[in-house]
Structure 1
Amino acid sequence: MTDAVIVRYALTGGPFGTTDGRAAVYELQERLTAALAGLDVGELDGNEFGGDQVAVYLYGPDADRLYDAVEPVLRSLPHRPARATLRYGEAGDPDAVRYEIDLDTGRAEPPPARPKPGRRRKIVAAEGDVFRIPLDGVRSVYGQVVAKHDYWTLVVVFDALSLDAVDGADILLLANTFEDCLADGEWPIVERRAVRADVPWPVYKFWGSTTPPVIVDHFGRVFREATPEEARTLPSRSQTTANAVTDAARAAFGVGEWDDSYDEFLPDDKATVARVIGS
């Protein structure tokens, strides 16, 4: 599934929107899944909240057929402004062409010609895959896929500039992300090995439609209601782009400046399943 339909909706009430606004997006995803059932035109791959907007990702073999199948559902979400990007080809394909559609006014420009056949296949990463993130053209840092569930991919980045150093290295970063850089080969997979026992499995608060929020793990499994203190201090469960993880990894090794937003990728031993749930 190399083509994509990526829809971005504006959010109000903060960078991640309001509780009701997020709930409307989750309901939209359920309706998209239902609309695609049995059509064989593509699938929903998840969302990304942040920066006063949410992006919804869909992938399929033909962006036009995929968009035609879900257009009425996409227009039904009232969040505006909203634009859909149709991408013909993989994210890392230099020959991939794109055009945008305003969900209120129609297509922004005529559809471009389809790319030539022979595009690269999407790489499907698996739990345990060790990958490298290029830092500066010479050095690479190593990471691992430690868990996968639906469209969620939990990765860690080790304090390791060589594959041999991975086993004994500290875990520098931990993030729930998309598979973009893995699927497109920007994070080359070098081998598969067992996930280390010392991964600090994270917990989050999740509001959804419940009050108070509940505590969930990286898979979204619900443990219990959050206490008022946990509701105040635990991070919210969300996904980040693989590019943001790349930028954070580079900054950690002196390639670029560290941004405060990268702090969310730092492992927090106070927000783990072992610490909060006790198992």
Structure 2
Amino acid sequence: MKTKKIKKPLTIDQKISRRNFISFGVFSAAALGGALAWKWLYNSPIETITVTGGARKPLRRALNKTELAFRKVFSNNNLVKTYPKSMAAKKVRVNSDIGIEAEKKFDITAWKLQVKKQNSEMLQVSLDDLKALPKTEIVFDFKCVEGWDQIQYWGGVKFSDFITHYKLDDQAKLGYIGMETPDKGYYVGIDMPSAMHPQTIMAYEVNAKPLPLEHGAPLRLIIPVKYGIKNLKRIGTITFSNTRPPDYWAERGYDYYSGL
């Protein structure tokens, strides 16, 4: 009768070596898989340029599906976190001047907001007209796609109040708004639910003072549910549509939705 050999238990060093070997194997497989996936994505075709452009087709499909998922759960009840005014940055960071480069030549006194309705009717709204509406203030954490963030304090008119006051409710039933700087150098397209979110404002103040030129005077968009690239400086024109309006960074490969 054969004697059954008793398997000796692994020593601590052997256990550590075994775990390290398994971990290294899993890491190597994951790294190889990641490298192959990146190579596949890098070599995949570029999307057809429409209102978006510059991204690889699989990436754009993923971004569009992510947008649909976000929009299904989006609600006006989901508010971004706000802070006391004492926490707001005293020096608000200036990021880009696209669309406002010629700021020294810009005449604020001649500015009027152009609102184009779908029936081609045009409204012209002055800064004094906007200031006559109820004022809304917000202190929130402004986030940039470049990776930085800053708590900032803005004041202006809530976009939904603006829509109601100027009897644009029929326009707000459409899917999107488009905003463009007076020189047409910068433009954004925003889904209507985000535009009508209760924390979205058209700001004419920062830190309780009139908006300076470098921050888009006399009027800019502050939309806390989006990254900074959607917070257009110096609003010149507003349009309404059921299709995606042109968007500066989406045309250059970025996510059209850019939601947080």
Instruction: Report the TM-score, using the length of structure 2 for normalisation.
Output: 0.24
Larger relative contact order (C-alpha < 8 A, sep ≥ 6)?
2
Bigger CA radius of gyration: 2
Identify, as 1 or 2, the structure richer in helix.
Answer: 2
Query: What is the TM-score of this pair, normalised by structure 1?
Result: 0.23
